[in-house]
Chains A and B, each alone.
Chain A
Amino acid sequence: MIIDRKMSAGVLNVSRRAVSLGFGAGALVLATGLPAFAEEAKPEPKWGGDGMPNGLRDDPTLFVSIAQDGTVSILCIRSEMGQGVRTSVPMVVADEMDADWARVKVVQALGDEVRYGNQDTDGSRSLRHHFMPLRRIGAAARQMLEAAAAAKWGVPVGEVEADNHEVVHKASGKKIGFGDLAKEAAAQPAPERDALKLKDPSKFRYIGKGKTSLVDNMAITTGSAIYGTDVRREGMSYAVVARPPVYGGTVATLDDSAALKVPGVLKVITLDPPKFPTEFQNLGGVAVIATSTWAAMKGRDALKITWEDGPNAVYTTTSYRAAMEEASRKPGKVELSVGDVDAAMKTAKSKVEAEYYIPHHSHVSMEPPVAVAEIKDGRCEIWTAVQSPQAAKDRVSKRLGIKLDDVTVHVTLLGGGFGRKSKPDFCIEAALCSKAMDGKPVLLQWTREDDLINGYLNTTSVERIEAGLDENGKPVAWLHRSTAPSIFALFMEDPKHQATLELGLGLVDTPFDIPNMRIETGAAPAHTRIGWFRSVTNVPHAFALQSFVAELAAAAGRDHKEYLLEILGPDRKMIPKTTEPWWNYGENPDLYAINTGRLRKVIEVVTKEAGWGRKMPQGSGLGLAAHRSFVSYTAAVVEVAIGDGGRIKIPRVDLAIDCGAHINPERIRSQLEGAIIQGISVAMYSNITFKNGVVQQTNFDSYELARMDIAPREVRIHLVDSTGYDAPLGGVGEPGVPPISPAIANAIFAATGKRLRSLPVGSQLAS
């Protein structure tokens, strides 16, 4: 279903009425009362979706409604940002309830975690956490329909069966459609969890098939799909904000007289600076509100502002990088220590060491941050493209002093998210602008320049690894120092070291079979807003680790793949012996221990499929990398071809994943294709640098992304046979990114003999 302009107002009513009255006008519904969910008393700790704020819900009356005409509406509580949730979520429910996909509609939920459970769409968690609850929702709805039919016909419930949108009594040949059963089904009690009969996976019609067309396909291809920036409200004005160029800066002087003379400019307001830690607060500055986006931008250009920069004006990339390098060359904070690294280093036959540098990255979703806010009768309504509508609701409520229940957040389609849109600072800005306009609706638009200059960047890091080797070139001692400013500086006094969450993203979970290993972090203060970006610190950690293993293989004169498999060691399940409790993506370490056999498998599959070892023409090379992230296992082989002047082409990429069962294989493939392209941007082009606290990249000319000309003509995704539907699922959205940049660096080495340790590749090969 499309959230069209008229519907976007209606969605509020639709979702609300699902609880007490039903879903949509004229619909007879399963919903019979307040949610029956009561949180189970469970021994701590909670893992997976149960461990997320507000947990999981699986009450069918909250999520499914059936209209008299048989239309089944299924609520999607996750945000659609290209990963396909608005297709995959209803697909799972529909399959379990035996609904006909052609008669299923998806309705986007409002932000309301008390009612729906956690809605924070990030961390590659939507299907990983929700697959089973969604199946339970579908199974419960099916069983309620079956019970209603059995009661109607006066036959035992065991004799009836749901089949493609109707319930059938085989013995008598009676059949009745879901629509005709809706009312009676709604009167049935929702089955208890242990009474649920999940479908046998061999009976799935949609799950695992990858044949389902995207629900928003028609809207997207005809321009009627509604993103945050497309929301239109009666009497709406448009706003842009001039924000401090340096993080933590404030307005020193403001002259808005010229701006106010720009035709169309309605108002100029000053926004207060945030308090530290800044978390998801807006950055302050000066907002210009006008009759069109264009007039607002012209008005902003005409503002005369001098800024008080504050202490972060010291932030300059060249000197900061030097400081990170220095920190990584001396002892740091020990995060994991196994065996005796110092002693083993001393007795090692030889030593190899290398230092890698990874810059900040910006999400630059094609739709920059944007929100519409409207305040009426003390209630605030927001329409926006956010990954965490609950965070938006909560922060707007706090900042404007409006009761939480009086803030409504409608989630539109997101024109990309990648972690940026988990942070609702722009929603607060929109609400403040609306307030200044006496509650009239205001669309608050970030420009691309705003997005680059005032974003939440992926961290930057220096990764230094030293290995002591035996006579066969195998590591007996391993010392890895990772120095990077932490995301957690957003939320608390700057810890200056990566937190357990960041360490768990590909650093302390290094899966190698090395008897003496120490992992340390160096200190690095944050001078900008560090946020999470697709794959987060897996990006720098994997770049360093998987480049370094290739370096060791080369030093030992060994084939990279053979060498990688050798240091991965025998198949085993590992739980890293970390100083602090190991953060394993929030998952139970026993269920989701590091499984080196699964990593080996994806390496074997991808090398076989890619023809690893095939003879390459002069100037071409293959590069390999493998990485576990978001409890999935990926491996990539990249082919590069170096042309005149060091120009790099990437003719082909093979990527294998083992993420457990494949719920919607079509979207797994598309996510991985996208991850390859995003990985190419990370490896080849993208680089945020600072000078005196100010980001130097302002648009796509200085912050470059992969384009069609570098996109591989051949992309091959290999879905490794899963562990089956009973095994816990891994993530899909993010795990494709980390292996790409090291595989590219390794391929460049294979093609040229040049080892690039600093990202991006940029013009480093230019001759």
Chain B
Amino acid sequence: MIKFNINGKEQSFEGDPEMPLLWYLRDVQNLTGTKYGCGIALCGACTVHVDGMAVRSCQMSLADAEGKKVTTIEGLSLDGNHPIQAAWRELNVAQCGYCQCGQIMQAAALLAEKPKPTDEDIEAQMGGNLCRCGTYPRIRAAIKLAAEKA
């Protein structure tokens, strides 16, 4: 049996230890905010925090998640008002919105590490998160807005 903590709750799992965290979150826990986009660490749609670090959940097996603390978009803030979430809404960042949970989780990790990120920091840290709708200019602006307000 594998044990881990998801959004503050202890969980255990007895199935296939190879199952990526992504599919466990989506199909077993019905935490569908974490999205599938590529399955091989190329798009960032599946980004969650594991022990506070941004991680591609499609690349982490449940065996590797043993004993870890996982935070998904559903657990990022109690009321949906993490500064990144608020900035995203203030600037209407989303188009289709599908990539945005992953973007927000990545951006939240960036801000935790670098409270005042430069353009270069943003490009380096957000470069793994694809947005096919092309919201990058607003993502950049929203990260700066959140940094300013924090």
Find out whether the CB atom of B23 lies under 8 angstroms from the CB atom of A81: no
A677-B89 CB under 8 A given contacts A214-B94, A216-B94, A700-B130: no
- Report chain A residues within 8 Å CB of B26: 229, 293
Find out whether the CB atom of A711 lies under 8 angstroms from the CB atom of B136: yes
Find out whether the CB atom of B123 lies under 8 angstroms from the CB atom of A708: yes
The reply to whether the CB of A230 lies closer than 8 angstroms to some CB of chain B is: yes
Cα–Cα distance between A264 and B136 once the two chains are bound (Å): 39
- Report chain B residues within 8 Å CB of A80: 96
Cα–Cα distance between A496 and B107 once the two chains are bound (Å): 48
Cα–Cα distance between A229 and B37 once the two chains are bound (Å): 11
Chain A contacts with B in 352-395, Cβ cutoff 8 A: 363-368
**Which has the most chain A C-beta neighbours within 10 Å: B45, B88, B128, B134?**
B134
Find out whether the CB atom of A699 lies under 8 angstroms from the CB atom of B40: yes
Cα–Cα distance between A217 and B24 once the two chains are bound (Å): 26
Find out whether the CB atom of B42 lies under 8 angstroms from the CB atom of A701: yes
Cα–Cα distance between A222 and B97 once the two chains are bound (Å): 11
- Provide the main secondary structure of the chain A interface: loop
Find out whether the CB atom of A292 lies under 8 angstroms from the CB atom of B92: no
A294-B16 CB under 8 A given contacts A229-B35, A699-B40: yes
Find out whether the CB atom of B140 lies under 8 angstroms from the CB atom of A221: no
Find out whether the CB atom of B85 lies under 8 angstroms from the CB atom of A674: no
A 209-250 to B, binary, CB cutoff 8 A, 1 in contact else 0: 000011011101111111101101000001000000000000
Cα–Cα distance between A675 and B137 once the two chains are bound (Å): 12
Task: Identify which of A5, A81, A232, A700 contacts B96 (C-beta below 8 A).
Answer: A81
Find out whether the CB atom of B85 lies under 8 angstroms from the CB atom of A416: no
Find out whether the CB atom of B94 lies under 8 angstroms from the CB atom of A674: no
Q: B23 CB to closest chain A CB, in angstroms?
A: 4
Find out whether the CB atom of B40 lies under 8 angstroms from the CB atom of A365: no
Chain A residue total in the interface (Cβ 8 A) = 66
Find out whether the CB atom of A677 lies under 8 angstroms from the CB atom of B35: no
The reply to whether the CB of B15 lies closer than 8 angstroms to some CB of chain A is: yes
Find out whether the CB atom of A674 lies under 8 angstroms from the CB atom of B33: no
Cα–Cα distance between A673 and B142 once the two chains are bound (Å): 15
A713-B119 CB under 8 A given contacts A673-B134, A674-B135, A701-B42: yes
A700-B89 CB under 8 A given contacts A225-B97, A365-B132, A708-B122: no
Cα–Cα distance between A418 and B34 once the two chains are bound (Å): 22
The reply to whether the CB of A263 lies closer than 8 angstroms to some CB of chain B is: yes
Chain B contacts with A in 110-150, Cβ cutoff 8 A: 119, 122-124, 126-140
**Which has the most chain B C-beta neighbours within 10 Å: A80, A221, A701, A712?**
A221
Q: B73 CB to closest chain A CB, in angstroms?
A: 4
Q: B13 CB to closest chain A CB, in angstroms?
A: 11
Cα–Cα distance between A700 and B31 once the two chains are bound (Å): 25
Cα–Cα distance between A688 and B129 once the two chains are bound (Å): 21
The reply to whether the CB of A447 lies closer than 8 angstroms to some CB of chain B is: yes
Chain B contacts with A in 20-34, Cβ cutoff 8 A: 20, 23-24, 26-28, 30-34
- Report chain B residues within 8 Å CB of A82: 94-97, 133
- Report chain A residues within 8 Å CB of B20: 294
- Report chain B residues within 8 Å CB of A39: none
Find out whether the CB atom of B28 lies under 8 angstroms from the CB atom of A708: no
- Report chain B residues within 8 Å CB of A367: 35, 37, 96, 98
A 413-440 to B, binary, CB cutoff 8 A, 1 in contact else 0: 1111110000000000000000000000
Find out whether the CB atom of A213 lies under 8 angstroms from the CB atom of B19: no
A443's nearest neighbour on chain B, judged by CB, is B27
Find out whether the CB atom of A213 lies under 8 angstroms from the CB atom of B85: no
The reply to whether the CB of B55 lies closer than 8 angstroms to some CB of chain A is: no
Cα–Cα distance between A236 and B119 once the two chains are bound (Å): 44
Find out whether the CB atom of A366 lies under 8 angstroms from the CB atom of B37: yes
A715-B137 CB under 8 A given contacts A223-B31, A708-B129: yes
The reply to whether the CB of B65 lies closer than 8 angstroms to some CB of chain A is: no
The reply to whether the CB of A30 lies closer than 8 angstroms to some CB of chain B is: no
- Report chain A residues within 8 Å CB of B97: 82, 216, 220, 225, 413, 415
The reply to whether the CB of A471 lies closer than 8 angstroms to some CB of chain B is: no
The reply to whether the CB of A83 lies closer than 8 angstroms to some CB of chain B is: yes
The reply to whether the CB of B67 lies closer than 8 angstroms to some CB of chain A is: no
A223's nearest neighbour on chain B, judged by CB, is B33
Cα–Cα distance between A673 and B95 once the two chains are bound (Å): 10
The reply to whether the CB of A493 lies closer than 8 angstroms to some CB of chain B is: no
Find out whether the CB atom of A223 lies under 8 angstroms from the CB atom of B133: no
- Report chain A residues within 8 Å CB of B119: 713
A653's nearest neighbour on chain B, judged by CB, is B137
Find out whether the CB atom of A220 lies under 8 angstroms from the CB atom of B126: no
Find out whether the CB atom of A705 lies under 8 angstroms from the CB atom of B130: yes
B90's nearest neighbour on chain A, judged by CB, is A213
Find out whether the CB atom of A292 lies under 8 angstroms from the CB atom of B19: yes
A678-B42 CB under 8 A given contacts A220-B94, A220-B100, A223-B101: no
The reply to whether the CB of A68 lies closer than 8 angstroms to some CB of chain B is: no
The reply to whether the CB of A200 lies closer than 8 angstroms to some CB of chain B is: no
Cα–Cα distance between A675 and B136 once the two chains are bound (Å): 12
A227's nearest neighbour on chain B, judged by CB, is B98
- Report chain A residues within 8 Å CB of B129: 707-708
**Which has the most chain B C-beta neighbours within 10 Å: A84, A220, A291, A415?**
A220
Find out whether the CB atom of A222 lies under 8 angstroms from the CB atom of B74: yes
Q: A750 CB to closest chain B CB, in angstroms?
A: 23
A 280-316 to B, binary, CB cutoff 8 A, 1 in contact else 0: 0000000000011111000000000000000000000
A711-B140 CB under 8 A given contacts A222-B73, A364-B132, A674-B133: yes
The reply to whether the CB of A666 lies closer than 8 angstroms to some CB of chain B is: yes
Cα–Cα distance between A446 and B145 once the two chains are bound (Å): 36
The reply to whether the CB of A709 lies closer than 8 angstroms to some CB of chain B is: yes
A-B contact pairs, 19 of them (CB 8 A): A81-B96, A213-B89, A217-B89, A221-B88, A223-B31, A291-B27, A294-B27, A364-B132, A366-B132, A367-B98, A666-B92, A670-B92, A670-B135, A670-B138, A674-B135, A677-B134, A699-B38, A709-B124, A711-B136
- Residues on A lying within 8 angstroms of B by beta carbon are 5, 80-84, 213-214, 216-218, 220-227, 229-230, 232, 238, 263-264, 291-295, 363-368, 413-418, 445, 447-448, 666, 670-671, 673-678, 699-701, 705-709, 711-713, 715
Minimum-distance CB pairs A-B, first 5: A223-B33, A677-B134, A415-B98, A82-B95, A82-B96
Known A413-B96, A416-B98; further 7 A-B contacts with Cβ < 8 A:
A80-B96, A82-B133, A84-B95, A364-B132, A666-B92, A673-B135, A709-B123
